[in-house]
Structure 1
Amino acid sequence: MSTNLTVQESSTNETYTVELRSYFDGGLLQFIGWSILGWLVTVVTLGICYPWAVTMIYGWKINHTVVEGRRLKFNGSAIGLFGNWIKWWFLTVITLGIYSFWLFIALEKWKAKHTTFVN
């Protein structure tokens, strides 16, 4: 998908059109490698490092995404997510699993909060 942006330069009074494209430039082998590494880290640490795997894989996806000519950047950290993960786990336990229905939404909100544009 692409969007055209018309720009008029005030000093020369010239008008030109810039094409703003959206695309993903990550590769399949990179994705497989990051996914395997994330899975291994999660399994070897018995799930303790799952937040690190999430931030690693999500960061790779976001850092390879361009929306209308602007590259996205993920600035979340595994330590920041780990604190939330402990809180969410605690809420799930004390609500006998009911909070787990909101866990996906809480994680998506955290991801969105830590996603910005590079330029």
Structure 2
Amino acid sequence: MRHHNDSYFTGTLLEYLGMMLVSFLAGFFTLGLATPWAFCHRERWVARHTYIEGRQLHFVGKSFDLWLLLLKWTLFSVLTLGLYSFVVPIRFQQWRIKNTYVYGYWDEYYATE
């Protein structure tokens, strides 16, 4: 049985600042078009350094998919006179969680059946 203290984060402040600087500059110099790439870059970094019950997280989201979703959400928000914008944060979190996995979880799950 695993204990909750097997969960930890291995990233450092210097790595985080470097990653955030690269993400900011990419978004700034592309006038925001690279923002989905910057978000996916950040999520991959966080997942790479996060361990839950001793297993590493893995983020598989694609920046192009997020870009298309942001375009769709913006269009829906405009068409509904801003009402859909209340739903966007929830859809965004759903997409983020849907694309985050724990390495090795299913292998152990199926081995116990």
Q: Classify the TM-score, shorter chain.
A: 0.7 to 0.9
For 2:65, give the aligned amino acid: G
Match of 2:111 in 1: none
Which of structures 1 and 2 has the larger relative contact order (alpha carbons within 8 angstroms, sep 6+)? Answer: 2
Match of 1:75 in 2: 60
Deviation at 1:98, TM superposition (A): 2.0
Larger radius of gyration: 1
CA distance in 2, matches of 1:42, 1:97: 24
Q: Per the alignment, in what secondary structure is the counterpart of residue 83 of structure 2?
A: coil
Q: Per the alignment, in what secondary structure is the counterpart of residue 73 of structure 1?
A: strand
Identity %: 36
The equivalent position to 1:43 in structure 2, one of 28, 35, 47, is: 28
Match of 1:100 in 2: 85
Deviation at 1:103, TM superposition (A): 1.3
**Deviation string, structure 1 residues 36-94 (Cα, Å, up to 9, x no partner):** 11111111111111111111111111221000111110011111111111111111221
Q: Structure 2 length as normaliser, TM-score?
A: 0.83
More helix by share: 2
Displaced runs of 4 or more, over 4 A: none
CA distance in 2, matches of 1:77, 1:42: 16
**In the comparison of the two structures, how many residue pairs are matched?**
103
Q: Structure 1 length as normaliser, TM-score?
A: 0.80
Match of 1:113 in 2: 98
CA distance in 2, matches of 1:36, 1:95: 35
